[in-house]
Each structure stands twice: as C-alpha cells, then as structure tokens.
Structure 1
Amino acid sequence: MRRAGLTVLGCLVVAYLPLAATSLWFTVLPGFPRWQVELDERLGGHAYAWGDGSLAAVRTLAYADHRVALLIHTSLGSLALLLVLVQGVLRRSRAGHRWIGRAYLAAVTGSMLACVVFLLRAPHVDLPGQTAFRLQLWLLAASTLGTAAAARSAIRRGDVAAHRAWIGLNVCFLSTAPLLRAMWSALGALVPQHTLLTNMEASAVTLAVVAPAAGALLALRGDARPGRAARSPKAGTRWLLVATAAGGAAAIGLCVRTGAGPGSYPWFHVVPVLGYAAACAVLAARRSGPDLRRRDARRLLLGAAAAPWCAVLVGLGTARFLGPEEACRAGLLLAPGFPIVGALALVLHRRSAPSTRTVDPAVAPGRRTAPDDGSLLGHGTRSAHRQSIP
C-alpha cells in the first residue's frame, strides 16, 4: 500500500513539475512554451484553452504582475512533494529523515506564504464561482499550514501515530494542485461543452471532499492496535449512510433551486461524499482487523454524513452576503472539509488518551534522532519523557 501511494505521488510530481513551471515562465521569457495550456488545447480545443472562460483569458495579466509570488509558490510546492518521495525512500535513515522533514516544513511554509501574498495582491475576477473559489484557496492555504504545524507538534510530543496522520493529511492538501490541473484537463475532453473555469471549479468541488477524506482514510489505515472489543452496531451505520444520502439530495436540491453551475455540478460533491461514506461503512463493518479501527471508522463516517449538510447550511447561511448562487458554490467548496477533518481530530484525540496510546520502543527519553516510524518531520523526541503509559 505504501509503495502504491509513493508511486501515485511520484507520477503527480513528474507530471506537475513541467506543467506548473512552464505555465509561469512566459511571464519572464516571452514566447516560452506553456505546456499546461497546450495540453488543455489538445484535449478540449482552442476555445477551451484560450477563449472566454479560460484561465489564460482571465489570469494572464495577474500572473504577469505577480509572477515572483507564483513562481515561489509553485517551485516550493513542487520541492515539498519531491521531498515526500525522498523521505519515503530514505525512511530508515534517521538523521536524513529529520533534516528532510525540516526542509519539507520550510518548503510548505514558504509555498503557502507566497500563495497568501498572491491572494492578497491579485485582483478579483468578477465571474460566477470565482469568489467562492478564491475563498477556497484561502482555506486550503490555512489548512496546509495548520496540518503541518499539527504534525510538527505531534512528533515533538513523541506521538508518532498523530504525526503520521497529520502529515498524511498535509500531503493530501498539498497534492490538490497537481490533481486540480489533471482534472480540469481531463474534463476538457470529457465535458467539452463547459468552459475551463467551470471544469476547474467542478474539480475543486470534488477535491474539497477527496483531499480530507483521503487523509482520514490514510490515518485509519495506519492504526493497528488491537484494543478492547468494540461494538459495531449495524443499525447506526445504516442510519449514517441514510443521512449522507439525504444530505447529498439536499445539496442537489439547493444547487437546482439557486441555479449554481450546470446540472452535473452538485454531483461532483455528492459522488465523492457517498464513496467516502461507503468506504468508512465497509471498514466499520469488517470482522477482521483491530477493534479500535472499526470504532474509529464509525467516527469518520459521522464526519462523512455531516459533510453535505454542512455544505447546505453554509450555502443557506451565506446567501445574504454572497447571493444565492455564489453561496451555494461556497458551501460545496468550503464546508465539506470541516466535519471530515473534525472527525479525524476526534479520532486522534481518542487515540492519544493514556488508556489507548502506544509508544514506539525506539522512542526513548532524551533521544534526539527520529525513530524508524515513517514520520516525515523528524524533530526528535525531546518531550517523550513527559508521556506516561499505564
């Protein structure tokens, strides 16, 4: 499973580096090829890549005016993803693990701060969906910085399991950039009647669910404690699945009523939410595997069930300020991650309780080198002696 994850991440990095780099070098070297736009043109046609409603049409001037911030953002983000791959290969080198982790933290921080600079200075695009999308970029930058800080705090406490979980979520958030590019290009071939900005927004709606959900499932997979026998009431799981489906129907109804996006727009939210809920339900119902993992899966399922309802509530609550259509888009782009990440935080909090927490035997009081624990930000375990295990 770990090898498969590294392979997928490697493919993303290899594809993202040339596309992201060449999409901005034209601002420094006029006439430099823009491979991302050329790929969009090949898949979706000239109007899709260059016409009204394309990224090239509405953002070229902003990219040129703020090229330094964007070049720093894309370069450091690509470097951070590359360091994840190096960390996966060199995970048994404790000294290398620690320094690579610090370099990763620095790259992520620099990349997100450059993104914040761009968001502060770049002009607003007065098109449907762009206000909600801009708010999502703010939320993504804050979430990436927050999960990196949480991962660093966890490893300094000696809580390896929490560190792994937060780093996994952080990498999922960071991977949204290459995934977004891949999705809007693919949708150009699959749904050519939509503009690039529409497909980009639909892709962002999907990633608003997929990124936190993938991080939560990675955290669940990483816990292998036997624990005490845990009940897994099937009735409760079924009702949570029903609540998820009902929330998806409510989200579809809100989009139809407000006219937000094309008819397929809400399905980019509903399908991944239902898929995530189904995955949690399967893990909660499995007879094999650790008991506490099944209990944690039910807690994550609660977050999945709440995600579409949060989207609906945000869409209704912000309609007065953003307008009904833009508010509906904001609900789908901003809200799903809160209950999903909140459920994951609850799981990690329960795991860190003294009655359930375990410590890697390599984590010894006073050690300053990172154990072979698969963690990324190897900040040592100077505070491990503060933890007592009954």
Structure 2
Amino acid sequence: MNRTEPAVPVPRARRRTTWAKAAGVAFALVCLSYAPIAATELWPYAHPGAPAWGEWALARAVNPHYVAQAFATRVAPYRHSLVPLLVHTVLGAVLMLLGPLQLLSAVRRRIRLHRTLGVVFAATVYASMGGAAVYLVRTRPEDAFSGAAFWIVLATILLGTVLSATYGILAAVTGRPDLHQRWMLLCYGFLMTAPLLRVEWAVLPLLLPGQPMAEVNRVAIMHLGTLVAFGALCASRAFDRRSRVAGVGGSWVPRPVLALLQAAGAGALVWIGYSFAQHGSSGHRMLVGYLLPYAAVYAVLVLRMRSAARAGRPWAAEEWRLHLAALCAAPAFSVGAVLVFRQALGLDELTALSAGVAIGGGMLAFAATTVVSLRVLRGRVVLERGRGGASGSAGGPAGRGDGTIRESAA
C-alpha cells in the first residue's frame, strides 16, 4: 500500500531568506529600470524632440493624452531651473545604480568596496539634492506639479534624504554599523519615492479612470512617505538578527503610553476623515489613498511587534513598537501641520490638509529612527558604566554592544 509522506515544514529562517532575496531582486530591478528614465527625463526640455523614455513608457501604459496634459504645464517651471534639475536627475540616475551595488557589497561583506562606493554615494546624494534645492528655491510652491502640497512634500523628502545620509555617515565614522545601516536604508527609502511615484502614475489610473496625472499625483503622495519609510524599517529588521542589544532593557513606550498615542491617533484620523469629506470626490480619493496604506502598515507593525515578543526577541519587539508609536502619532502631527500651513503659509484648506497628511508618516518614521538610535547609544552608555565596575560582565553573543548586526536571533 502506498503511503503519502508527511509534508516537511519549511524552516522559518529559510522562508525569511527567500523573502529577503525576492525583495532584493525586486529592489534592484526597480532601481535599474528607473536609472535610464531619470537620466533622460529632462532632455526634451533642453532639446525639444529628444527622447524621454519615461514619458514614452508612461504614454503607452496609460495613454498619450494623459502624459501630454501633465507635462505641458512643466515647460516654464523646468526651463527656469533646467541646469540644477539636470544635475539632480542625472545624478539621481547614478544613485539608482549605486543603491543595488551598495546593498550587494554589504551582503557579501566586501568592506573596502562598500566604503569606496559609500563615499561616492554620499557625495552624489549631496550634489543631487543640491540641484533639487535650487529648483525648489526658484519655484513658487503653487507652480509645483499638482500644487503647493507637492512642493512641501518634495522639500520634506529632500531634507529627510540629506539628514539621513548625514547621520548614516556620522554613524559609520564613529564605528556604529548598526545605526549606519538604519540611516542609510532610510536615506535610500526617501530616494525610492522617485521611481515608486512613477509606478503609481502608471498603476493608479486603473483605479481612478479618467483622472488627470495631477489628481493621481495628489492621491499618491498621501501614502508614499509612509510606505518608503516602512520599507526601510523592514529592510533594517531583516538585516538585524540580534535578539537583544546590550544595555537596552524594557521599553521607552510602555503600554499606557502606547494606548494614549493610539487614542490620540484615532481622534486625529476622525478629524482628518471629516475634513477630507468636506471636499467632494477629490477629498474622498485622497482620504482613501491615505487610510488604506496606513491601516495596512499599522496591522503589520502590530503583528510583528507581538510576534517578536512571543519569540523572546525583545530588541526586535522594541524597534517595531517604537515605529508603531510613531505611526500612531503621525495623524496628530499632521493635524498640527495643517493648522501651521494654513496660518503661516496662507494655503487653502484642501492644500494644507493634503500637505500635512502627506508628510506625517515619513517625518514620524524619521523621528522613530532617531529614537531607535538613541536607545542603542543609551544602551552603550549603560554597558560602559557596567564594565567600569566589572570588566567583561556582559557576555554571550546576544549581549554584545559593539554594533555587530550579524548575530543570530534566539
């Protein structure tokens, strides 16, 4: 009699490795595909009739009228700052090529190559963002594509990219590779807003048929910052297999504080939903574009935090918890930003609302990464004090405080 062999469960580590490899391949494909698009995006503005592969591909993915209607309004703003924009986009293409190389050199432990490419990467980030800064300074917020909200989002991404790269460099030169890794992943997450936005320009028209690209762009920016920062967090957690970090214990967000932040976030979400609902179909589209990704990220953070706690991995649970707290605080931050934008910048209600909501997730994720860094640095201070009284008292791989991130989880 034939007997069916019982199915052999796939080890969790192997499943995790498979997902990590798939994510790495997808990341590399997006970067390599976008590099030629970024490099040629502004050629037609310098030489009319020059090929622009991004426009060509988008016109065939959606329709030529959709693309022509959007880019026709960009001629004057782009030509006003064409040289800095060319610097920004061409060097942006270089960054798209450097990203996968940096990731591969880190995974393969090619330290010398990683450091050399890192110097080139940092210099390119600063030069590319310098070109973007000149464009933003020369462009009135209302002249940005789809309006002032997008100008504010671009300025926020620029600031987040530069600061993340700077903190990553400081962490590297001071011998803190775990913090260096987190900041550089967040930096590249902000850079990934460029290719992912183009993907949304092609995909969202399937869900929003008949809407112009400017309207599609308003919906896309509602969640883009939250999603790229979440992707950077997932990558950081995939690389960091430590179950504990020496000197780090307990939580900086105890249950009562987390509950309070969740309540504040829920109240702010109600206010945001009501405010968007006052602006008809456009407001409803932006609200859905914000709430659905927000809910998905919230659910994943809660599940990962609880899973890490059950598995006896307190460091992983704490990092997920800190980012969950930041996500809960993001709507309240956005409400405050809306009020500032209306009073200080004189923006109309919908523009101020969309701008405040669009920047909340990314800025609070940046704040969460800062708190994670402070937790690690504080842990090392505690560890050094302990060693002052008893040299070598911190033992075991999970208790090391040297910044190593390749230790196995418990």
Q: 1:229 to 1:108 in 2, by over 3 A?
A: closer
* TM alignment of 1:17-28, pairs within 5 A: 17-28=35-46
The answer to whether structure 1 residue 84 and structure 2 residue 105 are counterparts is no
Structure 1: runs of 5 or more not aligned: 362-371, 374-390
Query: Structure 1 stretch 140-149 or stretch 33-42: which is displaced more?
Result: 33-42
When you count helix as a share of all residues, which structure comes out higher?
A: 2
AA aligned opposite 2:401: T
The answer to whether the 8 A contact 1:260-1:325 is kept is no
Cα displacement string for residues 38-70 of structure 1 (whole angstroms, at most 9, x for unaligned residues): 33332333331122xx1x121023323433222
The alpha carbon displacement at 1:242 in A equals 5.9
* TM alignment of 1:169-180, pairs within 5 A: 169-180=186-197
In the other structure, the counterpart of 1:267 is 288
Give the share of equivalent positions with the same residue, in percent. Answer: 25
Q: Partners in 2 of 1:226 and 1:34 — Cα distance?
A: 48
SS at match of 1:224: coil
Q: Partners in 2 of 1:133 and 1:207 — Cα distance?
A: 12
Q: Partners in 2 of 1:276 and 1:238 — Cα distance?
A: 17
The answer to whether the 8 A contact 2:95-2:124 is kept is yes
AA aligned opposite 1:198: E
In the other structure, the counterpart of 2:397 is none
In the other structure, the counterpart of 1:296 is 319
The answer to whether structure 1 residue 248 and structure 2 residue 291 are counterparts is no
In the other structure, the counterpart of 2:356 is 331
Q: Partners in 2 of 1:137 and 1:250 — Cα distance?
A: 25
In the other structure, the counterpart of 2:34 is 16
Q: Partners in 2 of 1:315 and 1:259 — Cα distance?
A: 19
The alpha carbon displacement at 1:292 in A equals 1.9
Cα RMSD (Å): 2.7
The answer to whether the 8 A contact 1:20-1:74 is kept is yes
Cα displacement string for residues 65-109 of structure 1 (whole angstroms, at most 9, x for unaligned residues): 433222211111121221121123333222211111000001111
Query: Structure 1 stretch 125-134 or stretch 288-297: which is displaced more?
Result: 125-134
In the other structure, the counterpart of 2:336 is 313
330, 333, 346: which one aligns with 2:371: 346
The answer to whether structure 1 residue 34 and structure 2 residue 55 are counterparts is no
Structure 2: runs of 5 or more not aligned: 1-18, 384-399
Cα displacement string for residues 248-294 of structure 1 (whole angstroms, at most 9, x for unaligned residues): 33322111235593422112111222222211111221111511211
In the other structure, the counterpart of 1:195 is 212
The answer to whether the 8 A contact 1:205-1:333 is kept is yes
Q: Which has the higher contact order (CA 8 A, sep 6+)?
A: 1
In the other structure, the counterpart of 1:322 is 347
The alpha carbon displacement at 1:120 in A equals 1.8
Q: 1:267 to 1:190 in 2, by over 3 A?
A: closer
AA aligned opposite 1:310: F
In the other structure, the counterpart of 2:302 is 281
Cα displacement string for residues 323-363 of structure 1 (whole angstroms, at most 9, x for unaligned residues): 212111111122332222212211221122224672157xx
Q: Partners in 1 of 2:242 and 2:296 — Cα distance?
A: 26
* TM alignment of 1:8-157, pairs within 5 A: 8-51=26-69, 54=70, 56-91=71-106, 92-122=109-139, 124-126=141-143, 130-157=147-174
The alpha carbon displacement at 1:207 in A equals 0.6
Q: Partners in 2 of 1:174 and 1:273 — Cα distance?
A: 20
SS at match of 2:222: helix
If you compute each CA radius of gyration, which structure gives the higher value, 1 or 2?
2
The alpha carbon displacement at 1:225 in A equals 3.0
Q: Partners in 1 of 2:144 and 2:30 — Cα distance?
A: 29
189, 198, 203: which one aligns with 1:186: 203
389, 401, 405: which one aligns with 1:358: 401
In the other structure, the counterpart of 1:387 is none
Q: Partners in 2 of 1:258 and 1:327 — Cα distance?
A: 13
Query: So what's the TM-score if we normalise by structure 2?
Result: 0.79
